[in-house]
Structure 1
Amino acid sequence: MNIPFSPPFIDQSVVDQVLDTLNNNWITTGPKVKALEQEVKVITGTDEVICVNSWTSGAILMLKWFGVKAGDEVIVPAYTYSATALAVLHCGAIPVMVDVLDDFSIDPEKVKAAITTKTKAIIAVDIAGWPCDYNALKQVISDPHIQKKFKCNSEKQSKLNRILLISDAAHSIGSIYLNKPAAQHCDVTIFSFHAVKNITTAEGGAVCLNLPVQFDHEAEYTYLKMYTLNGQNKDALSKSKGAGWRYDILFQGLKINMPDICAAVGLAQIRKYNSDLLPKRKAIAKKYFESFQEEEWFISPPLISTQRESCYHLFPLRVKGLSEEQRDQVIDDLAALGVATNVHFIPMPMLTLFKDMGYKIEDYPMAYQNYACEISLPIYPQLTQSEIDFIINSVVSCVQIQLDKNLKAIDTNVVELKQMAVAS
């Protein structure tokens, strides 16, 4: 077997959309991007959607939009990909890391304890597609004592008059919270359309706005679209139409727009996401769960509850009783059998950049505990039943080898202790 970890889903509909873009002779931001934004609006039920060239760009965009600057603080989980904190650093602000819960999501109580008068935003991360407890987070930021701490330093901050709640939904397009798309439960939700995501544009992302009524969503959309094009009041498509060449730069923006050639890939995928791609992911997750649940070492990932449902971006298997080193050996053994796996994620305090900034993994015990025994298994629509069965059998075999080593070590220790007792 040769089973890759997460190849992109490319079928004839994707090829057709890309060819259509090429044949139309317009490959940068244009009608395909607009169509993808509309499709994301439909699937999320949010008020406006702005496509960008990456999740990271989208996060920087929205933090800058809110006026986050040097000296400000943004609360993030310690257990996430580095981009969550890097976006904060790119704005000159300080990422304040807090620990997570057993289900990988940010701990609302730790968030509450970390809030200061410098806190401007919270970025909650939906690991593996599992939504955070957004009602609990909203209760935190709406607490009168917390609201009194909030200091407004920009026009947008004054309009919101509280901490901004952002969902890092890089993993979670299609996830459900309280019977609605999870994106409806935050002020801002940011998706990633990177090559390994449930929906991909090769590189890209989307910002979804779900702001309170005091915000004019249409006006914010117009402003943010300009922001993605250097603060320019006219995009390339508009400029290309004859006499419409003249433009102006209204403010210092960014250059982070998504091109049509990328949007075409995502456009084809999103139109069959709920009907085809997402159900196939769910079926694979169900098969994994049913196959592993009889194993004593199996720690089930959060998949579905009365309040939440994952979009099955990952199957983050955790193995009870494995050390970090043994987990790594299982991954190597699976690779030797032809099964590519991954780990999501190395907690940020373990990375050189953040260690050098003073963050210590010892301060985030649950983040380390989740990480040390986690193995992300392949889960994507193209997997065949024989491949799924091979993955399951391989995992059980490789894990058992490591657990057997633990038993042998225990037996050896018992014998040695008995010998010491007899000798004494």
Structure 2
Amino acid sequence: MIIPFSPPYIDQAVIDEVMDTLSSNWITSGPKVKRLEEEVVKLTDSQAAVCVNSWSSGALIAMKWFGIKEGDEVIIPAYTYCATALAVLNCGAKPVLVDIADDFTIDTEKIREAITSKTKAIISVDIAGWPCNYSAIRQILTESAVRNLFRPLTENQEKLGRILLIADAAHSIGSKIDGKPAAKQADLTIFSFHAVKNITTAEGGCICLNLDLPFDNDAEYRYLKIYALNGQNKDAYSKYLGSSWKYDIIYQGVKANMPDICAALGLAQIRQYTHLLLPARKRIANKYHEGFKPHKWYIKPPLLDSSRESSYHLYPLRIKDITEEQRDQIVDKLCAIGISVNVHFIPLPMLSLFKQLGFDIAGFPNSYKQYACEISLPIYPQLTDEQVSYLIGSVIEVVEENFVSKDYIEVGVTL
């Protein structure tokens, strides 16, 4: 049985929305992007949402908006995809890496230890759909001692009066905290709509704004829309509708706008998200848990607790007391029988670029510990019960026949 890792969800509604865009003769940024932004606001209860062409562009724009530059520091977890750190580096700032907690998310006490007078932002990273402990992070950022360290150098930094909290929510659209959208927990929350994400626009992202007074989120939305279109004060669609052809360049912006042809995919998916796509992911995650629960080697991933709920983007299976090399062999054996799995993520200090910047994985022991035993299992709405059962059985067979201590195998336990 062949099971791909993460094919995009393309149904007739998606095809119809894309065909409608093509037949409209308008494929770059226009009405479909605006409608997608409105749907994101509705889903997340955010104050405003700006669609862009990638998570990376969104993060770069967000930090530029706040005035982050050379000499500044941005705290991020060591356990994340490289884009989190590259956005910081591409602003000219220094990424300050800290270790993670056992639930894969940034260790809040490590944040406290890493804050200096140069710290301008924290990028917390939701992993596999699981949101960070935002209440603990916000509490740290509002402490008098931490606020007194903050050195504002721009108008927006003066307005905020503290370190900016950005949520790297590439994995977590639809996650909840206390029954409410997790996206509201940060000042700026940035989603990815890459092809493998819960909602996709093929390539794309979105910045959600939830800035407190004295910020005007609508005004900041208008600024970011212009900034993401080369700082141009009039877009092509306005001219298409009959507006004057004249325009001006009012900011030193970037080219990061999302086109309508991409927005159409996401628009069709987001309309089905809460009643169809997200419940399907949750159902599969629960099936995995029930299948692996009897086995002593199984470490349950964070999915649901008294306050937080995942968006079930990935199923990060962990196996007790295996080595990194054994994990890699399990991945190879599963791929050899047609089951595509993955690993999320190689910690940044293990990658060549970050080694060259002076980072050493020895300084981030929990990041390595979680990485070394983690295997990301497929989780998407198209997976059938038969495929899920086959996958569970195959994982159990490969693990127990080859890699775990006999102490972890229950005699007589079957799926």
Are 2:61 and 1:61 equivalent residues in the alignment? Answer: yes
State the shift of 1:407 in Å: 5.6
CA–CA distance in structure 1, aligned partners of residues 251 and 403 of structure 2:
60
CA distance in 2, matches of 1:53, 1:399: 40
Provide the rounded CA distance (Å) in 2 between the counterparts of 1:178 and 1:231. Answer: 38
Where do residues 139-218 of structure 1 align in structure 2 (5 Å cutoff)?
A: 139-218=139-218
2:278 alignment partner in structure 1: 278
Whether the 8 Å CA contact 1:321–1:403 is kept in 2: the answer is no
CA distance in 2, matches of 1:143, 1:129: 28
Q: Deviations over 1:344-370 (max 9, x none)?
A: 000000000000100000000000000
Kindly indicate whether the alpha-carbon contact (under 8 Å) linking 1:322 and 1:402 is maintained by their aligned counterparts in 2.
Answer: no
Q: Tell me the distance in 2 between the aligned counterparts of 1:161 and 1:271.
A: 37
Amino acid at match of 1:33: V
What is the distance in 1 between the residues matched to 2:133 and 2:402?
35
Question: What does residue range 44-55 of structure 1 map to in structure 2 within 5 Å?
Answer: 44-55=44-55
Partner of 1:305: 305
SS at 1:152's partner residue?
coil
8 Å Cα contact 1:101/1:366 also seen in 2: yes
Alpha-carbon distance in 2 for matches of 1:43, 1:407 = 47
1-structure distance, mates of 2:192, 2:366: 25
Give CA-to-partner distance per residue, 1:172-212, whole Å, 9 cap, x none: 00000122100111100000000000000000000000000
Q: Deviations over 1:142-175 (max 9, x none)?
A: 0100000000010100000100001000000000
Q: Quote how far apart the aligned CAs of 1:244 are.
A: 1.5
Runs (5+) with no aligned partner, structure 1: 409-424
Distance, in Å, in 1 between the alignment partners of 2:309 and 2:120 is 29
Please state how far the C-alpha of 1:15 moved relative to its aligned partner.
Answer: 0.1
SS in structure 2 at match of 1:318? strand
In 2, Cα distance between the equivalents of 1:258 and 1:251?
19
Instruction: Please report how far the alpha carbon of residue 400 of structure 1 lies from its aligned counterpart in structure 2 after TM superposition.
Output: 1.0
| 1-structure distance, mates of 2:314, 2:87 | 23
Which residue of structure 2 lines up, in the alignment, with residue 27 of structure 1? 27
Q: Which residue of 1 aligns with 2:401?
A: 401
Q: Find the aligned partners of 2:395 and 2:357 in 1 and give their Cα distance.
A: 37
Q: Distance in 2 between matches of 1:261 and 1:377?
A: 30
Query: How far has the Cα of 1:239 moved from its partner?
Result: 2.0
State the partner residue of 1:237. Answer: 237
Query: Which 4+ runs in 1 deviate beyond 6 A?
Result: none
Structure-1 residue corresponding to 2:2: 2
Equivalent in the alignment of 1:387: 387
**Distance (whole Å) between structure 1 residues aligned to residue 291 and residue 386 of structure 2:** 14
Aligned positions, number = 407
Report Cα offsets for 1:257-290 as digits up to 9, x if no partner.
0000000000000000000000000000000001
Shift of residue 401 of structure 1? 2.4
TM-score by length of 2: 0.97
The percent identity for this pair of structures is 61
Tell me how far apart the structure 1 counterparts of residues 244 and 399 of structure 2 sit (CA, whole Å): 64
2:102 is the alignment partner of 1:87 = no
Alignment of 1:226-375 (within 5 A): 226-242=226-242, 244-375=244-375
Q: Give the Å deviation of 1:243.
A: 5.2
Q: Deviations over 1:286-311 (max 9, x none)?
A: 00001101101000000000110000
Instruction: For residue 131 of structure 1, give the secondary structure of its aligned residue in structure 2.
Output: coil
CA RMSD of aligned residues (A): 1.0
Cα separation, 2, equivalents of 1:35 and 1:407: 55
> Could you tell me how far 1:402 is from its partner in structure 2?
2.6
In structure 2, the gaps of 5 or more residues are 408-415
Q: 1:168 to 1:243 in 2, by over 3 A?
A: closer
Matched-pair contact (CA < 8 Å) for 1:14–1:269: yes
- 394-403 or 190-199, larger mean C-alpha shift: 394-403
SS of corresponding position for 2:165: strand
Name the SS for the 1:127 alignment partner: coil
* Alpha-carbon distance in structure 1 between the residues aligned to 2:213 and 2:156: 13
CA distance in 2, matches of 1:362, 1:243: 59
Counterpart-to-counterpart distance in 1, 2:334 and 2:243 = 61
TM-score using structure 1 length: 0.95
Larger radius of gyration: 1
Residue equivalent to 2:411: none
Separation in structure 1 between the aligned mates of residue 244 and residue 281 of structure 2, nearest angstrom: 46
Q: For residue 159 of structure 2, what is the amino acid of its counterpart? A: K
Q: Which amino acid aligns with 1:364?
A: F
